[in-house]
A and B are shown apart, each in its own frame.
Chain A
Amino acid sequence: MPRPDPAVASRRSTSTGLGRALVATYAVFALAATARSAVQLLTKASDAPLAYALSAVAAVVYVLATLGLAEVGPRPRTMAWAAVGFELVGVLTVGTLTVLDPELFPDATVWSAYGQGYGYLPLVLPFLGIAWLLRTRPRD
Chain B
Amino acid sequence: MIDPLQTVLIVAALVLALVTGGYVALDRSPDRVLIALIGLLEIGLVVQAVVGIAQLVGGSGDPGITFVGYLLAALVVLPLGLLWSLGERSRGATAVLIVALLTVAFLVVRLEQIHAAA
Contact = CB atoms under 8 A, between A and B. Distances in A.
B95 A21 contact: yes
Contacts of B84: 20, 23-24, 27
Given A24-B84, A24-B99, A28-B99, A17 B69 contact: no
A46 interface: no
Interface in A31-51: 31, 35, 39, 42-43
Interface residues of B, number: 21
A100 to B, nearest CB: 28
Given A39-B65, A39-B66, A24 B81 contact: yes
Interface residues of A, number: 17
B92 interface: yes
Given A16-B88, A16-B90, A17-B90, A24 B69 contact: no
A23 B96 CA distance: 9
By DSSP majority rule, is chain B's interface helix, strand, loop, or mixed? helix
B96 A24 contact: yes
Given A31-B73, A39-B66, A43-B65, A25 B99 contact: yes
B93 interface: yes
Interface string B67-94: 0010001000100110011011011110
A112 to B, nearest CB: 16
B95 to A, nearest CB: 4
B106 to A, nearest CB: 9
B90 A35 contact: no
B96 A20 contact: yes
Nearest to A15: B88
Contacts of B91: 17-18
A126 interface: no
Contacts of B90: 16-17, 20
Interface string A59-72: 00000000000000
Contacts of A21: 92-93, 95-96, 98-99
B67 to A, nearest CB: 11
Contacts of A17: 88, 90-93
Contact of A20 (B65, B73, B85, B103): B85
Interface of A: 16-25, 27-28, 31, 35, 39, 42-43
14 contacts: A17-B88, A17-B90, A17-B93, A18-B92, A20-B88, A21-B95, A21-B98, A24-B84, A24-B99, A24-B100, A28-B77, A28-B103, A31-B73, A43-B65
